[in-house]
């Protein structure tokens, strides 16, 4: 049996078990009670039941209708800086933050050393509690530097950069929240194991079993790799960490036909480890320092990535999908390959010369009347800049006009 068919069985079994319990009165409550299954797969499953003459047909129809009922996301949850889909940046919800803060504060003394790997909103929340903890944030997203006070910010790539001497073997508690891919898990675990002191605890946010066909195997690989790094498993809490639905994913869901707001449906399991005394420890997973081909501009509050390898031809944007929003956040979607311009609202475009477009956008002061700037440009460049201006206006509106 393939992992795809096993995953499909898990989806079917989990949805039926919820429908049997009749506990899920809305599409959102159904999603929240499932083991992290993609809402689009849940929709598909409900469609199958609704078209059948089986016992779940009416329940499935009611849940589908609920998924189609227009409900807006709360504006309070628009984050700053706005996450970009190419970073796989899923932030903790307020509930998720409280859960990890309580866990951490139970284990660490007031002046303890805490290292946060890929958990900037946790660093921000802890610093705002005016705690006396010694906080270290490790993250590659440069934008966090200006936003968090009272935290030592190590802006680096956890896959290839070195470990600062002052934090080596110093941390009482280490939190890892990598993008949910096995390679990034390994890099984060190795790095975290170097920071941990002898009596410390390392906490990993682990993808739930329903996330994708490989999730079960990925979870076993995480377990095996942590063991090879000299870490011993000390406990887990299922679905302990809750996440907000980022704006890019909201757009993807809307584009895929889910009109109701489905915030805070995603969760991760929390696994805790302690170091084994005198363990040999694994060698670091190999990784060449990667130079990204994507360059980013923040225009107002909208973040746009440009693929700098697309450098011949005209700088205009061409649609790749109906309505421009890619209706999924799955890294396995083949439509991603043709995108050379990508917004924080999950809009993707093909542009033969996104390098030129990047230069054009950078050359004007933003926000500025693009029409005014355009008077001196050729018509293709004018059109391309106008397209970007309209995109920025559209996404500012989607963020409620204001982020904070
Ligand atoms: C899934 S998000 C987790 C965000 C977290 N839940 C929060 O609310 O703060 C992953 C984070 O890891 C960071 N990241 C991803 N790969 C990285 C790498 N190789 N080196 C450093 N940081 C990385 C991203 O910038 C992002 O902040």
Can you tell me the mean pLDDT for 262-291? 86
Pocket test for ligand 1, best of 88, 118, 194 (most atoms within 8 A of CB): 118
Report the atom number in ligand 1 closest to the C-alpha of 179: 1
Q: Write down the pLDDT at residue 364.
A: 81
pTM of the model: 0.93
For 74-119, how does the pLDDT look when each residue is reduced to its tens digit (9 = 90+)?
766 567 889 999 999 999 999 999 999 999 999 999 899 999 999 9
Q: Is the pLDDT of residue 275 over 70?
A: yes
Q: Is the pLDDT of residue 31 over 70?
A: yes
Can you tell me the mean pLDDT for 378-401? 88
Report the atom number in ligand 1 closest to the C-alpha of 91: 8
Residue 360 Cα, ligand 1 centroid: separation in angstroms? 30
Pocket of ligand 1 (CB under 6 A): 87-92, 118-122, 139-141, 157-159, 177-179, 184
Q: How far apart are CA 177 and CA 120, in angstroms?
A: 10
Q: What percent of the chain has pLDDT over 90?
A: 77
Secondary structure (DSSP) of 256-305:
TT--S---S-EEEEEEEEEEPTT---PPPPP-PPP--SEEEEEETTEEEE
Q: Write down the pLDDT at residue 147.
A: 86
**For ligand 1, atom 13, which residue shows the shortest CA distance?**
118
CA 89 and chain centroid, separation:
3
* Confidence grade of residue 312 (pLDDT, cut at 50, 70, 90): very high
Output 2 or 255, whichever has higher pLDDT.
Answer: 255
For 323-377, how does the pLDDT look when each residue is reduced to its tens digit (9 = 90+)?
999 999 988 899 999 999 999 999 999 999 999 999 999 988 776 666 666 666 6
Q: Write down the pLDDT at residue 404.
A: 46
Q: Write down the pLDDT at residue 401.
A: 63
**For ligand 1, atom 27, which residue shows the shortest CA distance?**
118
Report the atom number in ligand 1 closest to the C-alpha of 89: 2
- DSSP class of residue 93? P
Can you tell me the mean pLDDT for 8-17? 95
For 248-258, how does the pLDDT look when each residue is reduced to its tens digit (9 = 90+)?
999 999 999 99
Pocket test for ligand 1, best of 140, 161, 194, 286 (most atoms within 8 A of CB): 140
CATH number of 85-275: 3.40.50.150
Closest by CA position to 129, among listed 154, 156, 102, 162: 102
Pocket test for ligand 1, best of 139, 187, 266 (most atoms within 8 A of CB): 139
Report the atom number in ligand 1 closest to the C-alpha of 205: 6
For 50-81, how does the pLDDT look when each residue is reduced to its tens digit (9 = 90+)?
999 889 999 999 999 999 999 988 766 567 88
Which residue's entry shows tokens 């429908």? 19
Report the atom number in ligand 1 closest to the C-alpha of 157: 20
HEC profile of 304-359:
EEEECCCCCCCCCCEECCCCCECCCCCCCCHHHHHCCEEECCCEEEECCCHHHHHH
Ranges 15-29, 101-115, 243-257, 381-395: which has the least confidence: 15-29
Residue 139 Cα, ligand 1 centroid: separation in angstroms? 6
For 188-247, how does the pLDDT look when each residue is reduced to its tens digit (9 = 90+)?
999 999 999 999 999 999 999 999 999 999 999 999 999 999 999 999 999 999 999 999
Name the burial class of residue 290, with classes exposed (0-12), middle (13-18) and buried (19+) by CB atoms within 10 angstroms of its CB: exposed
What residue ranges do the domains of the chain occupy?
3-67, 85-275, 294-398
Ranges 22-26, 37-41, 167-171, 382-386: which has the least confidence: 22-26
Pocket test for ligand 1, best of 84, 89, 137, 153 (most atoms within 8 A of CB): 89
CA 6 and chain centroid, separation:
25
């Amino acid at each position: 049996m393939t992992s795809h068919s096993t995953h499909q069985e898990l989806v079917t079994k989990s949805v039926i078990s919820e429908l049997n319990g009749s506990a899920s009165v809305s599409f959102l409550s159904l999603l929240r009670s499932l083991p992290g299954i993609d809402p689009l797969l849940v929709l598909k499953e409900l469609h199958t039941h609704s078209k059948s003459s089986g016992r779940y047909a009416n329940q499935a129809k009611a849940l589908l209708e609920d998924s189609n009922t227009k409900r807006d996301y709360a504006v309070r949850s628009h984050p700053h800086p706005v996450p970009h889909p190419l970073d796989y940046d899923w932030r903790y919800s307020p509930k998720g933050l409280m859960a990890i803060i309580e866990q951490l504060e139970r284990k660490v003394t007031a002046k303890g050393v805490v290292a946060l790997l890929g958990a900037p909103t946790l660093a921000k929340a802890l610093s705002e509690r005016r705690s006396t903890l010694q906080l270290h944030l490790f993250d590659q997203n440069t934008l966090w530097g200006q936003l968090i006070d009272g935290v030592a910010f190590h802006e680096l790539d956890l896959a290839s950069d070195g470990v600062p001497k002052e934090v080596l073997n110093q941390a009482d508690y280490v939190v890892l929240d990598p993008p949910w891919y096995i390679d990034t898990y390994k890099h984060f675990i190795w790095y975290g194991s170097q920071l941990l002191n002898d009596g410390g605890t390392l906490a990993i946010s682990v993808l739930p079993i329903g996330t994708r066909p490989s999730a079960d195997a990925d979870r076993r690989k995480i377990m095996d790799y942590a063991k090879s790094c000299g870490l011993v498993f000390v406990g887990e809490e299922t679905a302990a960490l809750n996440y907000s639905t980022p704006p890019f994913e909201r757009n993807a869901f809307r584009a895929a036909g889910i009109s109701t707001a489905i915030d805070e449906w995603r969760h991760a399991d929390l696994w805790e480890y302690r170091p084994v005394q005198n363990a040999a420890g694994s060698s670091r997973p190999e990784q060449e320092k990667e130079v990204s081909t994507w360059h980013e501009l923040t225009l107002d509050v909208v973040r746009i990535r440009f693929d700098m390898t697309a450098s011949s031809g005209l700088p205009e944007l061409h649609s790749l999908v109906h309505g421009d929003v890619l209706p999924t956040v799955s890294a396995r979607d083949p439509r991603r390959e043709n995108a050379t311009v990508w917004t924080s609202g999950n809009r993707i475009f093909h542009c033969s010369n996104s390098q030129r477009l990047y230069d054009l956008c950078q050359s004007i002061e933003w926000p500025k009347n693009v029409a005014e700037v355009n008077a001196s440009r050729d018509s293709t460049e004018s059109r391309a800049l106008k397209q970007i201006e309209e995109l920025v206006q559209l996404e500012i509106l989607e963020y409620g006009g204001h982020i904070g």
